Amino acid sequence: MGIQRYLLSLLCSVFLVHVATAKSGFTRYFFSTPMCFSSHQKIREVIKKGMKDDPDLIPAFSRAAFHDCITATSSKPNSGCNGSLRLEEEITNMNNDRLQPPLDFLRQHLPTIAHKKCASFADGIQLGAEVAMQISGGPKVLGKLVNSAAPRVDVDDPDTVEGELPDEDDPFPKLLDFYARKGFNLREMVVSNVGGHALGAFEDDEDNQEKPFTTTETSFNIDYAVNLVQRIDTGKNLEGFHTLNSDLELLNNTESVFWLKYYAGHTGVGYVPSLGKLRLLTDYGKFLIKLASLKGSNLPAKC
């Protein structure tokens, strides 16, 4: 009798929703069970192996998590971290350039695990960001960007992309307004830019060359903040580095310059790189957790 009750309670604890959509080409299965935590761990292990085989997936997954979530807008309640990045209307946007590889990786591997477990495509993107931070030595956010008790639901309609992704040529006031509409303050805007560009490279369309943001594209560091601070004194990038025009706009505001120096390790009398990295790890971790909860229904209506 005891075993029967246990099996009945286990059966009742499992909630399965199977939705197949021709548009997305991805079949989604959601389970709400105590097993979700272990299934997420299995997905992380698959992603980790993929990143070891192809290190370029490390910055790509990190960037994909930002781009899937940051399109949240109050005019679309279900916008945000919803897997819409996988849809053609979004992934083909020029600001989502080079984000196809992590999506292809998830399409190949996630269904073989998720159909028996409990992760949506949106969760897969965030799990990839968790692993990217772990492998690169970034913030310790493992287990903090997904909720094993409440899998995200993938949408089949794209978020609004136009005006809902930062552009590399945006002036400072536009950047500040953009982040404010997403619920982020100026400090969080700075840490988003510095932390987000602590990995990876920029591909210049003019010469089709990759230009790294930092000395090591797959190892989390404060080079980008240091480079921006140097621009204040010299007006030049550190040799071999690339800086986005939108990030150079941070140099036009006294408060944002303060935070740039803060993450570069400024103490008031000099710079301590290890202190700067500790600060960036702490605050960028908080930013990623807040970003992962971004949803249009939680944002204030546009004025």
Rounded distance, CA 28 to CA 86, Å? Answer: 13
Q: Are 78 and 160 in contact (CB under 8 A)?
A: no
Q: Are 134 and 51 in contact (CB under 8 A)?
A: no
Q: Is residue 71 over pLDDT 80?
A: yes
* Domain 15-163, classified CATH 1.10.520.10, yes or no: yes
What does the pLDDT average to over 271-278? 96
User: pLDDT, tens digit, for every residue of 18-67?
Assistant: 333 334 334 344 444 556 777 888 899 999 999 999 999 999 999 999 99
The CATH code of the domain at 172-292 is: 1.10.420.10
Q: Are 245 and 237 in contact (CB under 8 A)?
A: no
Q: Are 65 and 292 in contact (CB under 8 A)?
A: yes
Which residue type sits at 260? Answer: L
Q: Where are the domains of the chain?
A: 15-163, 172-292
In this predicted model, which residue has the larger pLDDT, 20 or 272? 272
DSSP conformation letters of 70-86: TT-BTTBTT-BSSSGGG
Task: Go through the chain and tell me how many residues it has.
Answer: 303
- Cβ of 177: how many Cβ atoms within 10 Å? 10
Rounded distance, CA 68 to CA 90, Å? Answer: 9
Is the pTM higher than 0.75? The answer reads yes
Rounded distance, CA 251 to CA 233, Å? Answer: 11
Alpha-carbon Rg for the chain, nearest whole angstrom, is 20
Rounded distance, CA 22 to CA 186, Å? Answer: 41
User: pLDDT, tens digit, for every residue of 236-254?
Assistant: 666 667 788 888 899 999 9
